[in-house]
Amino acid sequence: MEMRVLVVVVTVLSLSATSSSAIATSSSSYLRLRSPNDTLCAQLILPAGYPCTEHKIQTKDGYLLGLQRVSSQVKNLRIQRGPPVLLLHGFFMSCMVLYLFNMQQAGDAWFLDSPQQSLGFILADQGFDVWVGNVRGTFWSHGHISLSEKDKAFWDWSWEDMAMYDLAEMVHCINSVTDTKVFVVGHSQGTIMSLAALTQPNVAAMVKAAALLAPISYLDHITATLVLRMVSVHLDQMILAMGIHQLNFRSDILLNLLDSLCDSGVDCVDWLTSITGKNCCFNDSRVDFYFNYEPHPSSAKNLRHYFQMIRKGTFSQYDYGVFENLKIYGQLKPPAFELSQIPKSLPLWMAYGGKDALADVTDLQHTLANLESKPELLYLENYGHLDFLLSTKANEDIFSNMIGFFRSFGKSDTL
Could you report the per-residue pLDDT of 262-282, keeping only the tens digit for each?
555 555 566 677 678 788 997
Q: Which of 163, 171, 224 lies closest to 199 in space, CA to CA?
A: 163
- The torsion region of residue 92 among left (phi > 0), alpha (psi -120 to 50) and beta comes to beta
| DSSP assigned state of 402 | H
Residues in the chain, total: 415
Question: Which is catalytic among the residues 16, 94, 188, 316?
Answer: 188
Compute the distance between CA of residue 284 and CA of residue 275 in angstroms, rounded to an integer.
Answer: 15
Mean pLDDT calculated for residue range 275-298:
69
pLDDT of residue 23: 37
pLDDT of residue 140: 84
pLDDT of residue 107: 62
Is residue 385 annotated as part of the catalytic site, yes or no? Answer: yes
Could you report the per-residue pLDDT of 170-200, keeping only the tens digit for each?
999 999 999 999 999 999 999 999 999 999 9
Q: Which of 120, 192, 132 lies closest to 158 in space, CA to CA?
A: 192
186: which strand partners?
Answer: 88, 212
Could you report the per-residue pLDDT of 109-134, keeping only the tens digit for each?
898 888 999 999 999 999 999 999 99
Could you report the per-residue pLDDT of 83-94, keeping only the tens digit for each?
999 999 875 433
Looking at per-residue pLDDT, the higher value among 188 and 36 belongs to 188
Compute the distance between CA of residue 280 and CA of residue 386 in angstroms, rounded to an integer.
Answer: 9
Question: Which is catalytic among the residues 27, 385, 387, 397?
Answer: 385
- Residue 22 and residue 245 in contact, taking contact as beta carbons nearer than 8 Å: no
Could you report the per-residue pLDDT of 355-397, keeping only the tens digit for each?
999 999 999 999 999 999 999 999 999 999 989 988 999 999 9
243: confidence class by pLDDT, cuts 50, 70, 90: confident
Q: Does domain 35-407 have CATH number 3.30.830.10?
A: no
Pick the range with the lowest mean pLDDT from 14-18, 284-288, 362-366, 397-401: 14-18
**Three-state SS at 243:** coil
Compute the distance between CA of residue 247 and CA of residue 152 in angstroms, rounded to an integer.
Answer: 12
- Say whether the peptide bond before residue 295 is cis (omega within 30 degrees of 0): yes
Domain ranges of the chain: 35-407
Between the alpha carbon of residue 284 and those of residues 251, 288, 318, the distances in Å are 23, 9, 35
Question: Which is catalytic among the residues 125, 319, 356, 387?
Answer: 356
**Three-state SS at 139:** coil
pTM of the model: 0.86
pLDDT of residue 273: 72
Task: Judge whether residue 328 has pLDDT over 60.
Answer: yes
Compute the distance between CA of residue 158 and CA of residue 196 in angstroms, rounded to an integer.
Answer: 12
Provide the percentage of residues in the chain whose pLDDT is more than 90. Answer: 58
Is residue 188 annotated as part of the catalytic site, yes or no? Answer: yes
Is residue 356 annotated as part of the catalytic site, yes or no? Answer: yes
